[in-house]
Structure 1
Amino acid sequence: MAIRVIVVGAKGKMGSETVKMIQKDDELQLVCGVDSKLNNVDVGEVIGIGPIGVPFVNDLERALLDFNPDVMVDFTTPQSVKQHVQLAIHHRVRPVIGTTGLTQADIEELQALADQHKIGGIIAPNFAIGAILMMKFAQMAARYMPEVEIIEMHHDQKLDAPSGTAIKTAEMIAEVREEHRQGHPEEKEELQGARGAFYQGFPIHSVRLPGLVAHQQVIFGSEGQTLTIRHDSINRTSFMPGVNMAIKKVVKLECLVYGLDKVMNE
């Protein structure tokens, strides 16, 4: 039996790619799209692939009640995603979340709620398999080269900075790196923010420009050498294999996990 999926934010760039991916997979069934400004119009017609017989609904709770989904995929905004996850868990629908902007406290609260309801979920800062590998390789390198800076680059419509991927990378590096402040002890910023935002003593820099999609490099330095680990998403189809994997893995989970890396080997 196919996994029944609703996509919240199905009109958006990531949401519409998710719809297209689901339509190509016989193991998945799109049952509705959710958009606060659209109701009873065909999802396929709105995103430009022709009618697919699946409606938009303008109210998430009604979608959860009326369409009996197994999984909710969310690509919306940092302002709304937490409430969406809470609603899904309360209705025993497994969330797969690609929206970034949730704080660590938010994630821990949602994990506790999922534990209470004994239901699985996935919050993933990045669904690109290459980006997951980049984060793992960066963590490996940080054991031997603890002087590091992260530069993440995204399109100019992204709402949060640093990106969820950069924060997750920094967290993974911090697990193996002894905390210390990098740079000269008397270093002075002539322009505020020039050195970026510091996470446990190392900088993260955010670039926002039209023409970019999602890019990150992690630069390590030591005496006489540097190492750069870089990942580039050229277009949004790069995220779809990871979204597909997450939908299929989440139905087997009994807890909410943070990071696609948590399910890649299961």
Structure 2
Amino acid sequence: MLNTASAQVPEPIRVVVAGPNGRMGRAMMEGLPQQSGLHVVGGLSRKDDDEAIAAVLAAADVIVDFTHPATSPALLERALDAGVRPVIGTSGLAEEVLELVDGKAREQGIGAVWAPHFRLAAVLMIRFAGIAARYLDHVEIIEAHHSTKADAPSGVARTMARMMRDVRGSDFVDPTVEKETLDGVRGGVHGGVRVHSIRVPDIVGWHEVMFSGDQEQLTIRHHETGRESYVPAVAAAVQKTMAPGVIGLVRGYDAVIGLAD
């Protein structure tokens, strides 16, 4: 008689969500339990005391963080010290924080993921902008988000401005305005890339990159219509942190899905 013992089913990845009552936190709490192979064990909010935080982290493999740049670093450090892998979507984190996450993850021998955006079309927008930056001399970025967003410009806009300047290898042409009748009307600037931020209620977000060359223009626009579609992308990032051989910080959703150079 044949031995028909069933194959062992892998244990689900235990996930804790930071900021479960925020805009993104609610989407994660509702959506991640529906993703195959994941089990949400709880949420962490600012009102939780040290004992409660320790208990939740002890029951988790991965922490998903879409919170605030002022509070996120301390929580990420605590999670890493507990051996919990972070998936980070918090906007506005300083480079020093990302380097700290990378270093601590390597010390622990575990993976981590940070991305300025967990959207496939946003990844493609950034890649297309990188191609155009090699050939066109003028560029400006306009981005719009809800009025309670903590940072400006968005992490995506900041990432694109830096990336385009690096790809080009020199500053873009940034025409001088002879007279600005309103301070700051030309927005912020990095390497000749002008960035303009719009903040109004009841908008999820969009980014527009406007290039100009010799009597021609190119516009690349990405428009978000809801937060629910972040869930599968974040689930893929959670899986990435647990993949064999992934140690340290993986930067960008493109790297998660294998589009990174």
Per the normalisation by structure 1, the TM-score is: 0.87
* 1:249 paired residue number: 240
The structure that has the greater radius of gyration is 2
1-structure distance, mates of 2:179, 2:229: 40
Q: What whole-Å deviation, never above 9, does each CA across 1:180-211 have from its counterpart, x for those lacking one?
A: 25333464422111111001121111000112
* 1:108 paired residue number: 99
- Report the AA paired with residue 251 of structure 2: Y
**Deviates most, 102-111 or 204-213:** 102-111
Whether 1:62 aligns to 2:72 is: no
2-structure distance, mates of 1:8, 1:59: 13
Tell me if the contact between 2:165 and 2:171 (Cα under 8 Å) persists in the aligned partners.
no
Which of 14, 31, 37 is equivalent to 2:24? 14
* 1:164 paired residue number: 155
* 1:53 paired residue number: none
Which runs of structure 2 are paired with 1:231-246 in the superposition (5 Å)?
Answer: 231-246=222-237
Question: Which runs of 5 or more structure 1 residues have no equivalent in the other structure?
Answer: 40-56
Q: What whole-Å deviation, never above 9, does each CA across 1:117-137 have from its counterpart, x for those lacking one?
A: 222111111111111111111
Question: Which runs of 5 or more structure 2 residues have no equivalent in the other structure?
Answer: 1-10
Which of 182, 185, 194 is equivalent to 1:191? 182
Q: What whole-Å deviation, never above 9, does each CA across 1:81-105 have from its counterpart, x for those lacking one?
A: 1111111111111000111111122
2-structure distance, mates of 1:157, 1:59: 28
Match of 2:136, SS state, is: coil
Aligned sequence identity (%): 38
Per the normalisation by structure 2, the TM-score is: 0.88
- CA RMSD of superposed structures (Å): 1.9
- Report the AA paired with residue 234 of structure 1: T
1-structure distance, mates of 2:14, 2:206: 32
* 1:203 paired residue number: 194
* 2:253 paired residue number: 260
* 2:40 paired residue number: 30
Specify whether residues 146 and 89 from structure 1 end up closer, same or farther in structure 2 by C-alpha distance, changes over 3 A only. Answer: farther
Which of 51, 60, 71 is equivalent to 1:80? 71
Q: How many residues align?
A: 247
Q: What whole-Å deviation, never above 9, does each CA across 1:46-73 have from its counterpart, x for those lacking one?
A: xxxxxxxxxxx984333212x2x11100
1-structure distance, mates of 2:143, 2:51: 34
Match of 2:212, SS state, is: strand
Match of 1:236, SS state, is: coil
Q: What whole-Å deviation, never above 9, does each CA across 1:138-197 have from its counterpart, x for those lacking one?
A: 111111113111111000010100101111111221221132253334644221111110
